[in-house]
C-alpha cells in the first residue's frame, strides 16, 4: 500500500524535492538561533564586542528573511503538490469506477462512494503534503539538536534524549485505538453523505408523501451516529493530546532541573544553560510535529486504505483473446442457450432460458412483473455475468467479444430514463458523442421530438434540469429514444419504451420504432401488448421460466397466459 502511495509522488518529483530542500534549509536555519544566543551571552557580552553582536544579529535577521521566503514556498507549492496528488487520485478512482460492474453500484451507496472520493481524499492529500515535510523537518531538527547538544555536554544530552523512548511508547500505545476510531468516523461520514444524497434526490417523493419529519428523523439518526463516532475519535485524540503534552512538559521540566544541576556543578556555563533550554524548547516543537504527524498519518492512511478498497475492486475485464465485434457479426442471430442467472448466487431469477432471435427480427418479452424481463435484457450487453449457459451473437459467445464493441452495437431505451444535467442537445448527442447538429435534429425528428423542441424558447439549448426534472415523462422518454436513433445500432433493447407516452405520441413513436427496428435485431419488453402484436416472436417469461412462446396469433389461439393478458387489456 505504501508503495502505491509513494507512486503518486512520482509525477510531482520536482515539487517534492524542492519542498524538501526548503524544509531542510528552514530546519537548519532554526538550529542557528540558540547557538548565536549562546555566543552572544557567553563570549560577546562579557567581552563587550558590540561589532560581533551586530554582525550576528544581522545574520539572524537575514536567516529569518530567508526562512520567510522558504516558508512561503513550502506553504504555497506544498499545497499545490498536495492538490495535484489529490486530482491524480480522483482521476484514477473515477476512471476505475467507470470500469466497475453494475453489481458494485447495486451494492454500494452513491453517497458513500462520493464521500470516499471527496472527504477521504482530502485527508489523504493533507498527509501527502504535510507528512513528508513534517517528518523531514522534525528529524533534521532532532538530529541537529542532538549533535549540537552533544558538542556542549554529552551526559546532559543523553539524559534528555533518554526520555524520548517514553514518548515513542506513548504514541505506539494509542496508535491502534486512533486507527480504529478514525476508520469508524470515515464510515459514518460516508453514511451521512449517503443519507443526504438519498434524501435530496428523493425530496419530491418526500414532499408528495408529506414525509418531511420522517426524512429529518432519518437524517438526524445518521447525524447522531456521526457525532458519536467523531466524539469517540476525539476522546482518543484528547487522551493522545493530553498525554503527549504532559510528556513534553515533563521533558521540559527534567531538562530544566538537570541543566540547573549541571550548571551548579560547574559542568556547563550560563551560555550553555540558556542554549540548552532554547534547544530543548525548540526540539519540543519537532516532537509535537511528529506527534501531530501521527494523528495526520492515521487520518490520511485510513482514507488511503478506503481509496485502495475501491481501486482493488475487480473491474470489468475482457476475456482473454476477446476480439472486437464486427458489424457483420452484430447483424447475426442472437441465441440464449441454457441461461441461468441470479443476482446473489442464491435466488434464481432466470432458469434454463433458451431463446433465438433471427437476424433483423423482433422478439418481445411479456409476463408478470418481476419475471426477469429486464434482467434478461441486461445480460445481452453483459451488464451482469451469467451463472450458466451462454448468449451468442452472430454465432459467437458474447464473452469472446470485447465489452466495448459489444455495447457499441447495442442501443437501449431503459425503463428508468436518466438525463444528464445539461441541454436537450447535449442529452441527445450522448447517443453518439461528436454527432453533427443535423444528425441530432434528424434523430429528434425520428423520435417525434423536433416540433416540441422548436416550441421551446431555447429550442435545442433548453436546459433539462437535474436528471431532466424540467421535462415530462414522455418528453424524457422521447429524448432517450432520440439518443438511440442517433446511435443507430444493429441491436435494440426497448424496455417499456412507450409506457410514458400519450396515445397519439405513442402511435407515432411506434411507427418510428418499427422503422428503426427494420433490419435490426430487437428485444422488446412491453406491458401494453398492443405495441408488440407484430413482433416476430413473443415470449411469456415467468419466475418459473419461459411459459409460452410463439407469434401473437398462435399465442392467442393457445388460450394461455398471453391470451388471458391480451384479452384483459383489450377489454380495458
Ligand X SMILES: Nc1ncnc2c1ncn2[C@@H]1O[C@H](COP(=O)(O)OP(=O)(O)OP(=O)(O)O)[C@@H](O)[C@H]1O
| Positions that interact with ligand X (CB under 6 A) | 106, 343, 349, 369-375
Name which of 345 and 369 has its Cβ closer to ligand X.
Answer: 369
Q: Min. distance of Cβ 533 from ligand X in angstroms? A: 18
Q: Min. distance of Cβ 359 from ligand X in angstroms? A: 25
Q: Per the structure block, which three cell numbers stand in for 401?
A: 467479444
Contact (Cβ atoms closer than 8 angstroms) between residue 111 and residue 196: yes
Host H or E run for residue 556: helix 552-558
In angstroms, rounded to a whole number, what is the distance separating the alpha carbons of residues 56 and 40?
Answer: 8
Q: Min. distance of Cβ 165 from ligand X in angstroms? A: 55
Q: Are strands 348-357 and 334-342 parallel, antiparallel or unpaired?
A: antiparallel
Q: Min. distance of Cβ 501 from ligand X in angstroms? A: 17
Nearest to 305 by CA among 479, 439, 116: 116
Q: Min. distance of Cβ 375 from ligand X in angstroms? A: 3
Q: Are strands 348-357 and 545-550 parallel, antiparallel or unpaired?
A: unpaired
Question: CB-based burial of residue 311 (10 Å sphere; 0-12 exposed, 13-18 middle, 19+ buried)?
Answer: middle
Taking the CA atoms of residue 32, residue 35, residue 39 and residue 41 in that order, the dihedral angle to the nearest 10 degrees is 110
| Helix (H/G/I), strand (E/B), else coil: 501 | coil
Contact (Cβ atoms closer than 8 angstroms) between residue 566 and residue 556: yes
In angstroms, rounded to a whole number, what is the distance separating the alpha carbons of residues 408 and 545?
Answer: 29
Q: Min. distance of Cβ 224 from ligand X in angstroms? A: 30
Name which of 381 and 431 has its Cβ closer to ligand X.
Answer: 381
Contact (Cβ atoms closer than 8 angstroms) between residue 16 and residue 132: yes
If one counts every other C-beta atom within 10 angstroms of the C-beta of residue 194, the result is 19
**Can you say whether the dihedral through the CA atoms of 294, 300, 306, 312 is positive or negative?**
negative
Break the chain down into helix, strand, coil percent, rounded to 5. Answer: 70, 10, 20
**Can you say whether the dihedral through the CA atoms of 379, 385, 390, 396 is positive or negative?**
positive
Q: Min. distance of Cβ 104 from ligand X in angstroms? A: 11
Q: Min. distance of Cβ 374 from ligand X in angstroms? A: 3
Name which of 22 and 366 has its Cβ closer to ligand X.
Answer: 366
In angstroms, rounded to a whole number, what is the distance separating the alpha carbons of residues 244 and 246?
Answer: 5
Computed on alpha carbons and rounded to an integer, the radius of gyration of the chain in Å comes to 35
Question: What DSSP line would sit under 97-116, residue for residue?
Answer: HHHS-HHHHHHS-HHHHHHI
Name which of 417 and 443 has its Cβ closer to ligand X.
Answer: 417
> Residue 349 forms beta bridges with which residues?
none
Name which of 285 and 374 has its Cβ closer to ligand X.
Answer: 374
Name which of 303 and 371 has its Cβ closer to ligand X.
Answer: 371
Name which of 349 and 355 has its Cβ closer to ligand X.
Answer: 349
Q: Min. distance of Cβ 316 from ligand X in angstroms? A: 16
Q: Min. distance of Cβ 366 from ligand X in angstroms? A: 9
Buried b (16+ CB within 10 A) or exposed e, 6-40: eebbeebeebbebbbebbebbbebbbbbbbbbbbb
In angstroms, rounded to a whole number, what is the distance separating the alpha carbons of residues 280 and 289?
Answer: 14
Name which of 63 and 339 has its Cβ closer to ligand X.
Answer: 339
Q: Min. distance of Cβ 482 from ligand X in angstroms? A: 23
Question: What DSSP line would sit under 510-545, residue for residue?
Answer: HHHHHHHHTTSEEEEE-SSGGGGTT-SEEEEEETTE
Nearest to 391 by CA among 523, 487, 496: 523
Name which of 74 and 349 has its Cβ closer to ligand X.
Answer: 349
Q: Min. distance of Cβ 339 from ligand X in angstroms? A: 13
Name which of 42 and 374 has its Cβ closer to ligand X.
Answer: 374
Name which of 275 and 497 has its Cβ closer to ligand X.
Answer: 497
Q: Min. distance of Cβ 105 from ligand X in angstroms? A: 9
Name which of 67 and 373 has its Cβ closer to ligand X.
Answer: 373
Q: Min. distance of Cβ 343 from ligand X in angstroms? A: 3
How far is the CA of 85 from the CAs of 74, 122, 126, 145, 151, in angstroms?
A: 16, 10, 10, 33, 42
Name which of 173 and 528 has its Cβ closer to ligand X.
Answer: 528
Query: Could you tell me how many residues make up the chain?
Result: 572
Name which of 377 and 398 has its Cβ closer to ligand X.
Answer: 377
Q: Per the structure block, which three cell numbers stand in for 342?
A: 441470479
Amino acid at each position: 500500500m505504501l508503495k502505491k502511495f509513494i507512486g503518486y509522488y512520482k509525477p510531482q518529483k520536482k515539487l517534492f524535492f524542492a519542498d524538501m530542500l526548503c524544509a531542510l534549509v528552514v530546519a537548519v536555519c532554526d538550529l542557528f538561533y540558540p547557538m548565536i544566543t549562546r555566543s552572544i551571552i557567553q563570549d560577546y557580552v562579557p567581552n563587550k564586542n558590540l561589532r560581533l553582536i551586530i554582525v550576528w544579529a544581522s545574520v539572524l535577521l537575514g536567516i529569518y528573511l530567508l526562512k520567510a521566503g522558504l516558508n512561503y514556498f513550502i506553504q504555497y507549492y506544498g499545497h499545490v503538490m498536495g492538490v495535484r496528488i489529490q486530482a491524480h487520485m480522483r482521476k484514477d478512482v473515477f476512471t476505475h469506477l467507470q470500469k466497475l460492474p453494475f453489481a458494485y453500484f447495486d451494492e454500494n451507496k452513491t453517497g458513500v462512494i462520493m464521500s470516499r472520493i471527496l472527504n477521504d481524499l482530502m485527508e489523504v492529500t493533507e498527509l501527502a503534503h504535510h507528512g513528508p515535510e513534517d517528518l523531514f523537518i522534525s528529524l533534521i531538527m532532532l538530529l541537529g539538536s542532538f549533535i549540537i547538544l552533544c558538542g556542549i555536554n554529552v551526559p546532559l544530552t543523553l539524559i534528555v534524549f533518554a526520555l524520548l523512548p517514553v514518548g515513542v511508547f506513548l504514541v505506539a500505545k494509542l496508535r491502534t485505538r486512533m486507527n480504529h476510531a478514525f476508520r469508524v468516523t470515515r464510515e459514518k461520514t460516508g453514511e451521512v453523505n449517503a443519507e443526504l444524497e438519498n434524501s435530496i434526490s428523493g425530496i419530491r417523493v418526500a414532499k408528495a408523501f408529506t414525509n418531511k419529519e420522517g426524512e429529518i428523523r432519518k437524517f438526524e439518526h445518521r447525524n447522531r451516529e456521526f457525532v458519536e463516532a467523531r466524539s469517540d475519535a476525539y476522546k482518543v485524540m484528547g487522551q493522545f493530546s493530553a498525554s503527549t503534552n504532559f510528556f513534553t512538559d515533563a521533558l521540559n521540566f527534567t531538562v530544566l532541573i538537570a541543566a540547573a544541576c549541571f550548571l551548579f556543578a560547574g559542568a556547563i556555563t550560563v551560555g550553555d544553560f540558556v542554549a540548552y533550554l532554547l534547544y530543548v524548547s525548540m526540539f519540543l516543537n519537532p516532537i509535537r510535529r511528529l506527534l501531530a504527524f501521527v494523528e495526520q498519518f492515521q487520518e490520511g492512511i485510513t482514507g488511503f486504505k478506503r481509496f485502495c478498497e475501491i481501486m482493488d475492486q475487480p473491474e470489468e475485464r475482457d476475456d482473454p483473446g476477446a476480439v472486437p465485434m464486427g458489424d457483420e457479426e452484430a447483424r447475426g442471430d442472437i441465441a440464449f442457450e441454457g441461461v441461468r442467472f441470479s443476482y446473489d448466487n442464491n435466488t434464481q431469477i432466470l432458469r434454463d432460458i433458451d431463446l433465438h432471435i433471427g437476424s433483423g427480427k423482433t422478439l418481445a418479452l411479456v409476463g408478470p412483473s418481476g419475471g426477469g424481463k429486464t434482467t434478461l435484457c441486461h445480460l445481452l450487453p453483459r451488464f451482469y455475468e451469467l451463472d450458466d449457459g451462454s448468449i451468442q451473437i452472430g454465432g459467437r459467445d458474447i464473452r469472446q467479444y470485447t465489452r466495448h464493441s459489444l455495447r457499441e452495437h447495442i442501443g437501449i431505451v431503459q425503463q428508468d430514463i436518466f438525463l444528464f444535467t445539461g441541454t436537450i442537445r447535449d442529452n441527445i448527442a450522448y447517443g453518439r458523442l461528436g454527432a453533427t447538429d443535423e444528425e441530432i435534429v434528424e434523430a429528434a425528428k425520428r423520435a417525434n421530438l423536433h416540433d416540441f423542441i422548436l416550441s421551446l424558447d431555447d429550442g435545442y439549448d433548453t436546459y433539462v434540469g437535474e436528471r431532466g426534472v424540467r421535462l415530462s415523462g414522455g418528453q424524457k422518454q422521447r429524448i432517450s429514444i432520440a439518443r438511440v436513433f442517433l446511435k443507430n445500432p444493429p441491436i435494440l433493447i426497448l424496455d417499456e419504451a412507450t409506457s410514458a407516452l400519450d396515445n397519439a405520441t405513442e402511435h407515432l413513436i411506434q411507427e418510428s420504432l418499427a422503422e428503426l427496428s427494420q433490419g435490426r435485431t430487437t428485444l422488446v419488453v412491453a406491458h401494453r401488448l398492443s405495441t408488440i402484436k407484430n413482433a416476430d416472436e413473443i415470449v411469456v417469461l415467468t419466475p418459473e421460466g419461459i411459459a409460452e412462446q410463439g407469434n401473437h396469433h398462435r399465442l392467442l389461439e393457445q388460450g394461455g397466459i398471453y391470451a388471458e393478458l391480451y384479452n384483459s387489456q383489450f377489454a380495458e
